[in-house]
Amino acid sequence: MSLISPACRGALQHWLDSLGALAGRSENTLEAYRGDATEFLSFMTLHHSERQGLAALERITASDMRAWMADQRNSEVGARSLARKLSAVKNFYRWLAEREGFEPTAVLSTRAPKFTKKLPRPLAEDAARAMIETVELQSSSDWVAARDVAVVTLLYGCGLRISEALSLTGSDAPLPDTLRISGKGGKERIVPVLPAARAAVDRYLHLCPHPQSPERALFRGVRGGPLNPGIIQSVVAKARMQLGLPATATPHAMRHSFATHLLSAGGDLRAIQELLGHASLSTTQTYTAVDTARLMEVYNRTHPKA
C-alpha cells in the first residue's frame, strides 16, 4: 500500500503538471522533484504513524521538519543533496499553501544546510583539443567516430548541453551560421556556429548510413534511432582514461571549457551568459572564480616570490 494518500498524490501530480506547463521545467527536473517530495511525504507518514492527507500536511511543524532533516543526515545525504530536496519540498508547499489557503511558515522557514558550491571543472585548452582528437579513436566505424567528434565539437565549440546537441534534427542541417537553441525552461538563445563545428557535422552527415529527414534526430545511433546521451558519456569516459584526465572531464565539462576559455580570452560576461543560456548572471559569474583560481595557481607556481 502506498504511504501517500490519494489526495496527496493528486496534489503532487497537479503541482508537477503546473511546473511543466507554466515554469517549463524539464522532465528530468520534474522527476527529481517528484522523488524528493514523495520521499518527504513518505517520511511524514512513518513519522506520524498515519498516512498524511492534505489536512495533516497543513499541521506540519518546525519539529517535524527538524526530524526529517535529521533523518536525511543520518541516511548520509550530503548537504548539497539535502538543500536540493528541501528546495523541492518548499516549492511544493508554497504551491499547496496558495491553493489550499493555509500558512506554510513551518516548512518555508526551514534553513537549508550550508555547503560550499562546487566550481565548474573545465579542461585546459590543449586537453579539450586532445579530447576531441581522442574521441575519434574510440570507434572502428568511420561514421560513428565522425558522429562522436561532431557531438563533442558542438559541446566545446558552441557551449551546448549534451541534451541540446542531441535535440538537433535534420532540419538543422547543414548547420547555419547561427543556431536557435531551446534550453532549460524553454529559454531560447542564438548560438554562433564555428566553422570547425560545421565541418565536423558535415563530415558526419556525409558518412552517416542512415537517411536524414527534417523531423528525425540529426545524430543517430547505430540502428538508426536517436542517439542516446549515455553513448557520448561512455566515449568521453574512455578518451578521458586514455588521456589521463580526471573524472571531472565529462561531456558537460566541454561546455564549462567553452565558457572558461572565452572568459580567459577576454570575453564579455554578459555575452557568455547569453551564449550559455543562463537565466541569471550569478550562474555565469562562477566562471570568473574559475579563471581567478587558475591565475592564482599560475602565480603561485611561477612567481619567484610566491
Catalytic positions are: 161, 184, 252, 255, 278, 287
- Closest among 123, 141, 158, 159 to 236, alpha carbons compared: 123
Q: Pick from 96, 124, 66: which is nearest to 257 by CA?
A: 124
Question: How far is the first Cα of the chain from the last one, in angstroms, to the nearest whole number?
Answer: 65
* CB-count burial class (<10 Å; 0-12, 13-18, 19+) for 157: buried
CA angle 164, 169, 175 (to 5 degrees): 85
According to DSSP, residue 123 is labeled P
Cβ contact 281:290 at 8 Å: no
Task: Name the H helices within the chain.
Answer: 6-18, 27-48, 54-57, 62-74, 79-100, 105-108, 125-135, 142-158, 162-166, 195-207, 229-243, 251-264, 269-276, 281-284, 286-302
Give, in order, the Cα–Cα distances in Å from 246 to each of 121, 173, 176, 249, 258. Answer: 10, 34, 34, 6, 18
Give CA separation, 29 vs 19, 24, 126, 270, in Å. Answer: 10, 10, 34, 26
